[in-house]
Amino acid sequence: MFGYIRPVQPELRVRELDLYRACYCGLCHTMGDRYGIASRFLLNYDFVFLAMLLWTGDMGTDICKKRCIGCPHKKKAFCKNTTALEKCAGMSVILYWWKIQDSIADEGFLKSGAYKILGFMLKRAYRKASADFPEYDAVVRDSITKLSALEKAKCASIDKTADCFAVILKAAAAAEDDPRRRRVLEQVLYHTGRWIYIVDACDDFAEDISSGAYNPVAERFGLHESPLPEDIKNQLKITLMSSRNQAGNSFELLEETAWSDIIRNIIFLGMPGVAEAVLTGIWKKKNRK
């Protein structure tokens, strides 16, 4: 996951921003508590979104204050451990673990060495997480293997490759008890995953072209030169918009929670903004600074 799923902060209400930050810090604490300090470095916005989506029940008095290494001078509010946070913590460890394993297999000597060190640091965390969520672990392993095979075969269908990644996100809802809620969440997550994969492919486009690496967008449209032509950008916009619309329409079928308006901000403002920034190239420049 790559941190593309984030709210437009100036458009959040003050209490929503506080809640969002508490969820972010809560996920970080949960990761640290359950899977050790190394796992806290895996924290990212996409999993905070997942935690908010999977959240059930009231917020109530679940918010506490605590100091942490990221901000030692001031106590910060954070959400206490909940099932949703624990799930997200475990799932992010599993996902990163398999991504690292995949990179070790694919990269050259130097880079794969770096990934091996990362893998070593996460080994214990992964063992625990895969014992906590064995079904999820199996789905991620299969999908990453499938995706890696498609990438090696230079697959020219963005839908096919994006599907492997989307299935990983969709599987996060597999354990939901209520079948109606599960169906809806699966749609929201599938299309969020599809959207992330395609946005990431667009974001990496220039880099992959210059390094000669596989890029799903380049392969789909048979491109060998760097700036994306306008008509292709438009086609990508349509496909991204379709997935975002589907995620949004599906989301509206869920019950309202304390997180609903923050999630709406992410889907209806955050995602289109990020897609636009990635396609115009502003995203890379902004994040490098």
Q: Which residues bind another protein (CB under 8 A)?
A: 157-160, 163, 166, 180, 183-184, 187, 190-191, 194, 220, 234-235, 237-239, 241-246, 248-250, 252-253, 264-265, 268-269, 272-273
C-alpha to C-alpha distance for 182 and 56, rounded to whole angstroms? 12
How many contiguous H segments (helices) and E segments (strands) does the chain have? 12, 2
Minimum Å distance from CB 186 to another protein? 9
Give the nearest distance from C-beta 237 to another protein in angstroms: 8
In terms of CB distance, is 101 or 243 closer to another protein? Answer: 243
β partners of residue 264: none
Nearer to another protein, 39 or 265 (CB): 265
**Residue entry with tokens 């897609």:** 275
Distance of closest approach, residue 181 Cβ to another protein, in angstroms: 10
Q: State how far the Cα of 202 lies from the Cα of 206, in Å rounded to an integer.
A: 8
**Nearer to another protein among residue 32 and residue 248 (C-beta):** 248
Q: Which is nearer to another protein, 30 or 161 (CB)?
A: 161
CB nearer another protein, residue 66 or residue 180: 180
Strand partners, 71: 68
Residue 164 identity (one-letter amino acid): C
**Bridge partners of residue 78, in order along the sequence:** 64
Strand 71-79 with 63-68, pairing: antiparallel
Nearer to another protein, 85 or 166 (CB): 166
C-beta of residue 169 within 8 angstroms of C-beta of residue 195: no
CB 200 within 8 A of CB 8: no
Distances (CA, A) of 119 to 69, 94, 96, 162: 23, 11, 9, 25
Minimum CB–partner distance for residue 252 and another protein (Å): 6
Distance CA(223)–CA(269), nearest Å, equals: 30
Least distance CB 282 / another protein (angstroms): 14
147, containing H or E segment: helix 134-152
Minimal distance in Å, beta carbon 1 to another protein? 19
